[in-house]
Amino acid sequence: MALLEVIGLTKKFVGVVANDRISFEIEKGEIVGLIGPNGAGKTTLFNCIVGYHKPDQGTVKFNGKPITGFKPFQTNRAGIGRTFQIMSISGSLSVSENVMVGSFCRVSDSRTARQEAAEILNLMELEQEAQARMNELPIAAQKRVGLAMALATKPKILMLDEVAAGLNPRETEEMVALLQKIHAAKDLTLFVTEHVMEVVMPISQRIIVLDGGQKIAEGKPRDIANDERVIRAYLGEKYVEGRKH
């Protein structure tokens, strides 16, 4: 049984089909990438799964149970964590307090939440920044805090939206290593949508490609990189040539 199953999902906005009968499965423990050009429907698909949008047609199942039309707090309780390209963090709170907000989705007392936050910050190599204010941190550290907040909700699957956006090449490499560390340490399933190919290609075991709201390809990274439909729609010849050298 797949951990996440999407069957014929369709979402329209004022006559525009953002997602057109998309179907796929993600198994427990997988790292799956989701790529495509701007406007391909990636974020809409994420939002339909998490519950920010209700699909017009189709079914979403998690752990074998239908969750189509669930609200975000319901999908979170079911075990779906989500990060955002634009993070919802409070600059007036400390790093530790922001992560505790995530813990409060599962626990009710501050002592337990603080302890869980400390453990996650240690995993994320942020223990030295625990008492810093969010607005004092560089973007790379803020991205890590966003990840830590999502981890604090104890997800079974973590959906990552543009987690490397705004990072320089060194920071991007560090983010890839961190995601691999999280995947191993937490036995997590990861579903990653990303424009930075240096993130999604090395980390993904399988990649789904959207274009114009439709799924145009699905397969292993090497196969996707050589798929003519994907090259025309998104990667371009320069990316493929760069991979050869």
β 157-161/16-26 pair status: unpaired
Which amino acid type is present at position 124? M
Domain boundaries, the chain: 4-79+157-244, 92-154
Give the model's pLDDT for residue 171.
93
Strands 31-35 and 80-82: unpaired
As a CATH number, domain 4-79+157-244 is 3.40.50.300
- The confidence score (pLDDT) of residue 187 equals 86
Q: What pLDDT, on a 0 to 100 scale, did the predictor assign at position 106? A: 85
Residue 235 pLDDT > 70? no
- Average pLDDT of the segment spanning 63-69: 95
**What is the average per-residue pLDDT within 154-171?**
91
**Predicted pLDDT of residue 34:** 96
Task: Write down the pLDDT at residue 85.
Answer: 52
Residue pLDDT, tens place only, 96-141: 998 998 898 888 889 999 999 999 999 999 999 999 988 888 889 8
241 compared with 11, residue with greater pLDDT: 11
Look at residue 197 and tell me whether its pLDDT is greater than 50: yes
pLDDT band, residue 86 (cuts 50/70/90): very low
Sheet holding 214-219, edge to edge: 80-82, 157-161, 189-193, 31-35, 206-211, 214-219
What are the tens digits of pLDDT across the range 15-26?
899 999 999 999
The per-residue pLDDT for 90 is: 61
